Structure 1
């Protein structure tokens, strides 16, 4: 039985384990899942991502977590918090993001998991969390709205200059402990 850092009625959040590589590599190799990213990832690139997440968790106490469906015990993908330092007028910042296998889409799992991650951010006393998605990624933008994030602005993502079809992004944010919009 995996040791979960926190859970929801349907999801368990944990750090990455060696046995996650095959399932996560399959998710990252799916062209439809990766439609709003630069490209599908190889097994080696997936391992490098897992390694980065483990280092981030050690350094920051959060990462894009491995997420299991509690009933089936399957890895559904990743939902969690990241530290972003790319060139922008709002970085460095903590962001929330997700990537689920297609089997798990349209079941409310992303919203359920992202809400739990925002609660986790509050416990860590992170004052503000942002989220970004390519302007065409309506599903992710809808999740941002459902979890209580407010639209902030659109921007051109500096790391996506070579990918003009996804470079224009919408940025949402939530500020904890504040009722005013900044």
Structure 2
């Protein structure tokens, strides 16, 4: 299995999505705590659609929100990776970095470790700048952005969350590679 990783860190392996990931990723996406800063938990079908989108994005651009395994146990911990955002804003279209990992793996430094590796991967792809954003109250994600060397840009109203006033105000970070 190890040889199928696109890149690794000390503890994590990054790869494209496989059909066998659906059960584990659907469980993570269905957890209300994990999805607290999203519109709602995802159904199994929505998780499958996201995996399919990520696979297409990888084929088109050479990056996506990757499937991430804990190397020690080969468990899927969630996703960390590089997306492509085209919604209406001052900073799009752009490459963004994002993450979503299961509760079991929170507060172990795995997200920061993985996100740093994704920025290195972005550099190899000759990507010049990477953005990240989160709902302003998502302090854990903002902390990761700071930890991996991103700089605060500004706050903005995220157009795709206009029907979710408690989530709409987002904080934007950026790093130049």
Q: Which residue of 2 aligns with 1:62?
A: 63
Instruction: Say which is worse superposed, 1-10 or 99-108, in terms of deviation.
Output: 1-10
Deviation per residue, 1:108-146 (Å, 9 max, x gap): 000000000000000000000000000000000000000
Q: Which residue of 1 aligns with 2:92?
A: 91
- 1:77-116 matches, within 5 Å, as 77-116=78-117
Equivalent-residue separation in structure 2 for 1:94 and 1:30 (angstroms): 27
Equivalent-residue separation in structure 1 for 2:129 and 2:72 (angstroms): 32
Q: Secondary structure at the match of 1:148?
A: coil
C-alpha displacement at 1:24, in angstroms?
0.2
**RMSD of aligned residue pairs (Cα, Å):** 0.5
Equivalent-residue separation in structure 1 for 2:167 and 2:37 (angstroms): 6
Q: Which residue of 1 aligns with 2:127?
A: 126
C-alpha displacement at 1:71, in angstroms?
0.1
C-alpha displacement at 1:72, in angstroms?
0.8
- With normalisation by structure 2, the TM-score equals 0.99
* Structure 1 stretches of at least 4 aligned residues deviating more than 4 Å after TM superposition: none
- With normalisation by structure 1, the TM-score equals 0.96
Equivalent-residue separation in structure 2 for 1:123 and 1:163 (angstroms): 37
Equivalent-residue separation in structure 2 for 1:19 and 1:112 (angstroms): 24
Equivalent-residue separation in structure 1 for 2:86 and 2:69 (angstroms): 28
Equivalent-residue separation in structure 2 for 1:89 and 1:71 (angstroms): 41
- What is the number of equivalent residue pairs in this alignment? 176
1:30 aligns with 2:34: no
- 1:1-182 matches, within 5 Å, as 1-2=1-2, 3-176=4-177
Q: Secondary structure at the match of 2:41?
A: coil
